[in-house]
């Protein structure tokens, strides 16, 4: 006796995601931005930022002294590159590259530079995978850390968890395909009620704590810039840490519906209960009125520019409530998923130095 096959492409109720999409209602999210006045907006920020910190899972790692240790100093001619090792929790060490321009006046304004997926932080500070020196920009990240340094900033570029020297010691069984470097950590974090993103934000907060101890750095003029996963890091770090005065989010700011949930993305993009804030553009309300620049390539297939433009327009409405219409900008450029830099470096200079 044969059984008639059902076609899930025609009977949508056969697909489990169909039910979840019915529950996905960002326009009804309890903590979406609905303020109509600046006073209401500032009140919303307090509640939303507190909830975001809990949602990301901040505060679960046991504290420990930063115990900074300089393990390398390299003279690059017009700037010096230091490598520092920081303890960001009782169980966590994080390498950080500091790029320090020689001729700029001290104390130096600082930009946090967050790399995206790839071989790690070396890619944005002028190094190849094996640690050898690289003289010219390469790849989608275009060693933007070096470019920021040449603009007069001290650049603090951490090795983000799961990349480079911070990859998880996870062994793939014979016959299994290797997951992304983030997958195991992200899954374990979710199991423990936190997130890979939360781990990264935690490390970023500790990095700023360290920068505040250095007399040659001026953290009152602190910016952040990142591409792709580093753009995610930049967006959420700026939402949580008000010490960041201006940011550039490249190759990330979009809508969850059209990017993160529209195609395959790394496991590090997912945070339980983030839905309470609605769409991604609502998070701009936690950055406003601080300056923000969004970079988007017209051939970026994983963060489609049409959706980026819509998200930016919604973010502009939020900035208007704060009376900060001119503090959000966008660089829409011709290109794929990559750093533009056409406006970014001048933008941060104007907001933090000029």
Tell the residue number behind the tokens 């490598």, with chain if given: 83
d(CA 270, CA 201): 14
Going from the N-terminus, what domains does the chain have, and what CATH number goes with each? Answer: 36-352 (3.40.50.1820)
Other Cβ atoms less than 10 A from the Cβ of 337: the count is: 18
> Of 53, 51, 41, whose CA–CA distance to 285 is shortest?
41
Kind of pairing, strands 108-114 and 79-89?
Answer: unpaired
Kind of pairing, strands 79-89 and 92-101?
Answer: antiparallel
pLDDT higher than 60, residue 95: yes
d(CA 77, CA 332): 34
> Of 202, 237, 343, 137, whose CA–CA distance to 145 is shortest?
137
Label residue 6 by pLDDT band (50, 70, 90). confident
**In this predicted model, what pLDDT tens digit does every residue of 69-89 receive, in sequence order?**
999 999 999 999 999 999 999
pLDDT higher than 60, residue 1: no
d(CA 257, CA 118): 24
**In this predicted model, what pLDDT tens digit does every residue of 228-285 receive, in sequence order?**
999 999 999 999 999 999 999 999 999 999 999 999 999 999 999 999 999 999 999 9
**In this predicted model, what pLDDT tens digit does every residue of 116-146 receive, in sequence order?**
999 999 999 999 999 999 999 999 999 999 9
Q: What is the helix (H) or strand (E) element at residue 50, kind and residue range?
A: helix 38-56
Give the pLDDT confidence score for residue 2 in this predicted structure: 62
| pTM as predicted | 0.96
Which tokens go with 212? Answer: 């505040």
Which tokens go with 174? Answer: 């014979």
d(CA 227, CA 115): 6
> Of 96, 5, 85, 50, whose CA–CA distance to 286 is shortest?
50
Q: What is the average pLDDT across 18-30?
A: 95
Tell me how far apart the terminal alpha carbons of the chain are, to the nearest angstrom.
Answer: 79
3-state secondary structure of 287: coil
**HEC profile for 228-252?**
CHHHHHHHHHHHHCCCCCEEEEECC
pLDDT higher than 90, residue 177: no
Extended beta strands in 181-275, E state? 217-227, 246-250
What rounded mean pLDDT belongs to the chain? 95
């Amino acid at each position: 006796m044969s059984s008639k096959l059902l076609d899930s492409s025609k009977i949508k109720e056969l697909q489990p995601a169909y039910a979840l999409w019915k529950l996905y209602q960002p326009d009804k999210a309890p903590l979406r931005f609905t303020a109509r006045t600046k006073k209401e907006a500032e009140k919303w920020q307090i509640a939303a930022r507190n909830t975001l910190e809990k949602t990301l899972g901040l505060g679960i790692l046991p504290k420990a002294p930063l115990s900074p240790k300089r393990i390398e100093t390299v003279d690059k001619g017009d700037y010096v590159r230091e490598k520092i090792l920081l303890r960001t929790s009782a169980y966590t060490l994080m390498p950080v590259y500091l790029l320090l321009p020689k001729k700029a006046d001290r104390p130096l304004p600082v930009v946090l530079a967050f790399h995206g997926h790839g071989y790690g932080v070396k890619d944005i500070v002028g190094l190849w995978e094996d640690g050898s020196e690289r003289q010219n920009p390469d790849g989608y990240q275009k060693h933007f850390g070096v470019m920021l340094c040449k603009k007069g900033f001290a650049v603090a570029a951490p090795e983000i968890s799961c990349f480079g020297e911070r990859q998880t010691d996870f062994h793939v069984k014979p016959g299994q395909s290797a997951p992304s470097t983030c997958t195991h950590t992200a899954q374990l974090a979710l199991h423990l009620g936190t997130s890979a993103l939360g781990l990264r934000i935690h490390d970023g907060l500790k990095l700023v704590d360290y920068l505040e101890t250095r007399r040659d750095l001026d953290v009152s003029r602190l910016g952040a810039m990142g591409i792709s996963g580093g753009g995610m890091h930049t967006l959420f770090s700026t939402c949580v840490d008000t010490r960041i005065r201006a940011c550039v989010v490249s190759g990330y700011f979009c809508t969850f519906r059209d990017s993160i949930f529209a195609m395959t993305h790394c496991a590090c993009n997912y945070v339980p209960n983030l839905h309470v804030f609605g769409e991604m553009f609502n998070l701009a309300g936690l950055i406003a009125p601080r300056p923000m620049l969004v970079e988007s390539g017209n051939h970026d297939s994983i963060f489609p520019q049409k959706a980026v433009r819509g998200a930016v327009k919604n973010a502009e409405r939020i900035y208007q409530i704060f009376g900060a219409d001119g503090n959000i900008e966008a660089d829409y450029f011709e290109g794929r998923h990559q750093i533009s830099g056409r406006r970014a470096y001048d933008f941060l200079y104007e907001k933090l130095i000029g």
